[in-house]
Amino acid sequence: MISEEAAEFDQQWRDVMTRATETLDLPAVLATLESWRRVARLTATRGAEAHRAMYRRAAARLAGEDIPADEPLSQTKARLGL
């Protein structure tokens, strides 16, 4: 995970744990952890900049135009509806 996503992880973790506490349903907790594990593996293997570039490539394909390398990740993810 990259620093720009730490708050997103924290919020997702709090939300899923709150729901699990109320429903005693753990599959959502495990799915959230697995999703973020994949993100962490990708980042650890390829590096933080490759992680950011992945989002830019996806946004560029959707937009049909290049995404500036200095665009904040939050803006790039918003282009993707994330």
Q: For the segment 41-75, what is each residue's pLDDT rounded down to a tens digit? A: 999 999 999 999 999 999 999 999 999 999 999 99
| Cα–Cα distance measured from residue 54 to residue 67, given in angstroms and rounded to the nearest whole number | 11
Q: Say if 27 falls within a structural domain.
A: no
What's the confidence (pLDDT) of residue 33?
A: 96
Listed in sequence order, the residues at least 6 apart from 60 whose beta carbon sits closer than 8 Å to its beta carbon are 66, 67
Residue 21 in 3-state DSSP?
A: helix
How high does pLDDT run on average in the chain?
94
What's the confidence (pLDDT) of residue 1?
A: 80
> What share of the chain in percent tops pLDDT 90?
94
Q: Say if 55 falls within a structural domain.
A: yes
Q: Say if 2 falls within a structural domain.
A: no
Q: Say if 30 falls within a structural domain.
A: no
Average pLDDT over residues 27-50: 95
Q: Say if 68 falls within a structural domain.
A: yes
What's the confidence (pLDDT) of residue 14?
A: 97
Q: Say if 4 falls within a structural domain.
A: no
Tally the domains of the chain: 1
Q: Say if 22 falls within a structural domain.
A: no
